[in-house]
Amino acid sequence: MVRFSAQIIILLFASLFTLGCSGKERGAKQYLSEAEAAYRDGNYSLSKLKIDSIKVLFPKSFDEINAGFSLMQDVRMAENKRNILFCDSMLRENYTQLSEMLTKFEYVRDNRYQEFGEYYPKAYPHQSSLDRIGLRSGVREKGTLFIESILSGSTVRHNKIKVSSGDGNFAETVAITSDGLNYRFNTIDKSYEIVRYSGSDENGVAQFIHTFQDEPVTLHFIGRRTVSVPLTNAAKKGIAHSYELSALLLNIEQLKFEKERSETLIRYLESRKNNNAIPEV
């Protein structure tokens, strides 16, 4: 009687083990099926999530895991092709905007030492800006915006500026100490101080002026002492135009980078596929 009971128990455990393995196999197949459906529907994020889950939840379902590896390659290929289409579409729109916006700028490039040129807003002509106390702006060809503060007739040795509105809002640059970005010179009848701010040194001053371009803005030259003057409408308009052009050019550069990265990934996936290699997930 005891021997019979032991046999029953052994058979029962064997059945449970078989059912457990069968259940796990069905679960892995279900996840793979859902991943394939998501791929067909263009829901690539869900498809990748399902594929990754197979490895975690069913580590011994080798057939499904290998099928998932192959599907992941197709998902990545489709994902990058879609990204290229999106980038191309956005680039067409941005280049149309750029063509219109560049009518507000003059392009200047000295072939002797400049690989890329700079755009200067026509609203505040760069050539005559030395005759004015204030701010002038420009945009490098790849999209980096810069602002230059020009102070003449006063020896302040300023190295930063602040712009403020009537309600107390303000923005302030980082102090510039680098030679070439902070320089001074004298003519027969006047002294000049010119400081250039770009990148993180500009610290949101252009965005502030763009926001408050229709309101009075005061410019403060900060050095050994502070000199404050109203910022002219022409300067505000020029900086606002520069800010918009910079944002557009930087967006174009980012789209070009994303497109190039997707094209590189597609070439990589195609090479692995041609070599019958399983891509890393």
Residue 32 lies in a domain: yes
Do 45 and 109 fall into the same domain? Answer: no
Task: Compare 39 and 25 and report the one with higher pLDDT.
Answer: 39
The pLDDT, as a whole number, for residue 114 is: 78
Residue 110 lies in a domain: yes
Do 93 and 203 fall into the same domain? Answer: no
Phi, then psi, of 264 in degrees rounded to 5? -65, -40
The pLDDT, as a whole number, for residue 131 is: 79
Closest CA to 45 of 57, 56, 29, 34: 34
- Residues 202 and 196: their CA atoms lie apart, in Å, by 8
Residue 201 lies in a domain: yes
Q: pTM of the entire structure?
A: 0.82
Neighbours of 184 (CB within 10 A): 14
Those residues whose C-beta lies under 8 Å from the C-beta of residue 220, and which sit 6 or more positions away, are 161, 162, 163, 164, 226, 227, 228
Per the structure, the complete domain to which residue 164 belongs is given by: 105-257
> By percentage, how much of the chain surpasses pLDDT 90?
70
Residue 263 lies in a domain: no
The pLDDT, as a whole number, for residue 115 is: 83
- Residues 29 and 10: their CA atoms lie apart, in Å, by 29
Residue 137 lies in a domain: yes
The pLDDT, as a whole number, for residue 132 is: 85
Residue 265 lies in a domain: no
pLDDT > 60? residue 280: no
pLDDT band at 214 (very low <50, low <70, confident <90, very high): very high
The H or E element spanning position 209 is: helix 205-211
Do 94 and 38 fall into the same domain? Answer: yes
- Dump pLDDT digits (tens) for 76-127: 999 999 999 999 999 999 999 999 999 999 999 888 887 889 999 999 988 7
pLDDT > 70? residue 25: no
Q: Which of 98, 119, 143 is the endpoint of a domain? A: 98
The pLDDT, as a whole number, for residue 9 is: 45
The pLDDT, as a whole number, for residue 178 is: 86
- Dump pLDDT digits (tens) for 32-49: 999 999 999 999 999 999
Closest CA to 210 of 264, 268, 139: 139
Structure tokens at 226: 């502070």
Q: Which of 98, 121, 141 is the endpoint of a domain? A: 98
pLDDT band at 172 (very low <50, low <70, confident <90, very high): very high
pLDDT > 50? residue 205: yes
Q: What single-letter DSSP state applies at residue 200?
A: G
Do 160 and 212 fall into the same domain? Answer: yes
Q: Compute the mean pLDDT over every residue in the chain, rounded to the nearest whole number.
A: 88
pLDDT band at 210 (very low <50, low <70, confident <90, very high): very high
Do 61 and 145 fall into the same domain? Answer: no
Q: Give me the mean pLDDT over the 51-65 stretch.
A: 91
The pLDDT, as a whole number, for residue 277 is: 53
Domain total of the chain? 2
pLDDT band at 11 (very low <50, low <70, confident <90, very high): very low
